[in-house]
Amino acid sequence: MVALRLTRATRPTVQLRRLLVAAAAGGTGFLLLACLGYALDHPQQADAAALRLAWCAVPLAAAVHLALAVARTDPGTRPRPGLSAVGLGPARLMALSALTTALSCALGSVLALLVFLHLRGDLTGMPFDGAASDFLAADQPLPIPATLTLLGLVPATATTTVALALRPRDPRRAAPGPRGFGRFGAYGRSAARETFGAYGRFGARRGNVPAAGRPAADGAQPTDGAAAGAAPDPERSGHGTSGHGTAPGTDTETKTQTEAVAEAEAETGSPAPETAWTDGSRRPSKDTPVGLPWGITLVTAGLAVHAYAERQAGAVLLGWFLIATGLVLASPGLTHLCGRLLQSTRPGALRLLAGRVLMAEATRLGRPLGVVCAVVTAGYAMTTLYAGSAPAFGPLTTLGALLVTGCTVATLLTAAVETRQCRADTTATLLRLGAPAAMLRAAAALRAAALLVLFGPLTLAVAALAALPVDR
């Protein structure tokens, strides 16, 4: 009920993003049902039906990626002050995000089933003069278990992905480990093993904890606190000749006590929590992303596989998988590099702001950019492959291409919205300090132009290299 109320009481832009998720889930479900219809209509071509079903993994991954991006930017399920008091903690908000995603995907799957049944002629008769009966198996009964399984694949996968990605994480630093205990419950850190009765021997613990008024076993001098405890100074206690309640040595004593408390906390290994629970999204890292060398290696390996594939289906799929994975891994590092290049050669306030934002949001923006580059590269190569006398794209292939392209572009735009939401406090601070709004818009335009200048030629170069074996 709470998920339905949050879904109903949101802004139109949020509802539009949820409708995009429903449309992506509906298109993917329709492709899966079309593969089922092809398998029913061509039972002797099991390999071709399995290959069609394997190709549906690409739009499925695109739809799930879009659902995850939309769930991250959903304002109705983001942590706000006071929600934990009414029982809406991080775990409950994660469950609400997953339930909202499940509702959107389920709506799309139901629409896909209705369209599929309408094209088969099961609802109101055969439309389009039976043109869709070749790949929908209109003359055969539809198996209900297989239909429900294929329709539930997108909601189940998207819901599980959202739940795992948005699960609550404790941002506090982990403790250095359980503290070791000696004999009789005493705190012990020495590596040497004690013999029986060593604890009760006179002077055995003399060197570990120096007592007040006596030196340590290793000859170290007693601390200020111990000295103060053994022989209190009349000036520090406030009974000196000055007659005031506070003496000049009070600050030194307070500092000594503060340092002692800090050392005790560091020794026990229980630091104070830095922040409260978050929404589960990872904060942008200040370091350079480490996936750039691995991404370049995978892209090179994929191009090498394409060079020796000779249009074999398995080798082509492996090559595209390596190229796509390499682009996704390398894109955060390239985005970080783009932000660093913007700040080179004595930058002004505009370039410095644009570059710092790109460096801070390299991972959040880089991965959707890598997916877009992989889709554009594959589209260019497939267009080159089917150019000339090859058969034209069919309706299902066109639907799949539009679905993957639309999902990737919508995911990239949603990631930009998420970046804007995460920088809302910083933007408000800049505006409060007097920064003009035109400069912020110019910085956003500069970031988009810099990414286009870097990723545009890179995508075209990888696509041209991938299509070279096809042109030969």
The predicted-structure confidence for 193-225, as pLDDT tens digits, reads as follows: 555 555 555 555 555 544 444 444 444 444 444
- The confidence score (pLDDT) of residue 63 equals 94
The model's confidence at residue 256, banded by pLDDT at 50, 70 and 90, is very low
Quick check: 411 and 21 in contact, CB under 8 A?
Answer: no
**Residues 345-373: pLDDT tens digits?**
888 889 999 999 999 889 889 999 999 99
- Between 447 and 193, residue with greater pLDDT: 447
Give yes or no for residue 120 having a pLDDT over 60.
Answer: yes
Helices (H) and strands (E) in the chain, counts: 17, 0
At 181 the three-state DSSP class reads strand
Nearest to 35 by CA among 23, 26, 48, 25: 48
At 235 the three-state DSSP class reads coil
Least confident of 152-161, 239-248, 354-363: 239-248
CA 321 to CA 298: how far, in whole Å? 9
**Residues 372-407: pLDDT tens digits?**
999 988 888 777 765 544 445 678 888 888 999 999
Please list, in sequence order, all residues whose beta carbon lies within 8 angstroms of the beta carbon of residue 107, skipping any fewer than 6 positions away.
22, 25, 26
CA 470 to CA 307: how far, in whole Å? 9
Q: How far is CA 303 from CA 306, 389, 456, in A?
A: 5, 25, 18
The model's confidence at residue 263, banded by pLDDT at 50, 70 and 90, is very low
> Which range is most confident: 68-77, 271-280, 451-460?
451-460
Nearest to 435 by CA among 364, 352, 355: 352
Quick check: 267 and 188 in contact, CB under 8 A?
Answer: no
Mean pLDDT of the chain, nearest integer: 75
**Residues 269-301: pLDDT tens digits?**
433 333 333 444 445 455 678 888 999 999 999
The model's confidence at residue 74, banded by pLDDT at 50, 70 and 90, is confident
Give yes or no for residue 184 having a pLDDT over 70.
Answer: no
- The confidence score (pLDDT) of residue 307 equals 81
- The two structure tokens encoding residue 137: 């198996």
Q: How far is CA 279 from CA 12, 51, 223, 224, 424, in A?
A: 23, 39, 45, 45, 16
CA 226 to CA 206: how far, in whole Å? 14
- The confidence score (pLDDT) of residue 226 equals 41
What is the rounded average pLDDT of the residues 446-462?
Answer: 92
Q: CA angle 243-248-254, nearest 5°?
A: 120
Quick check: 95 and 74 in contact, CB under 8 A?
Answer: no
- The distance of Cα 53 from the centroid of its chain, to the nearest Å, equals 28
- The confidence score (pLDDT) of residue 214 equals 47
CA 279 to CA 93: how far, in whole Å? 8
Give yes or no for residue 458 having a pLDDT over 80.
Answer: yes
- The confidence score (pLDDT) of residue 133 equals 63
- The confidence score (pLDDT) of residue 5 equals 67
Please tell me the total number of residues recorded for the chain in this structure. 472
pLDDT exceeding 70 applies to what percent of the chain? Answer: 64
- The two structure tokens encoding residue 310: 């000779």
- The confidence score (pLDDT) of residue 424 equals 85
Give yes or no for residue 128 having a pLDDT over 90.
Answer: no
Give yes or no for residue 40 having a pLDDT over 70.
Answer: yes
CA 368 to CA 453: how far, in whole Å? 16
pLDDT exceeding 90 applies to what percent of the chain? Answer: 29
- The confidence score (pLDDT) of residue 194 equals 53
Q: CA angle 20-21-23, nearest 5°?
A: 65
Phi first, then psi: what are they for 408, rounded to 5°?
-65, -40
CA 161 to CA 157: how far, in whole Å? 6
Q: Which amino acid is at 107?
A: L
Nearest to 151 by CA among 26, 308, 63, 326: 26
Q: Considering Cα of 149, then 151, then 132, then 138, what sign does the dihedral take?
A: positive
Least confident of 79-83, 96-100, 246-250, 428-432: 246-250
- The confidence score (pLDDT) of residue 199 equals 52
Q: What is the dihedral of CA 146, 151, 154, 156, to 10 degrees?
A: -80
Quick check: 451 and 338 in contact, CB under 8 A?
Answer: yes
Nearest to 146 by CA among 238, 47, 229, 38: 38
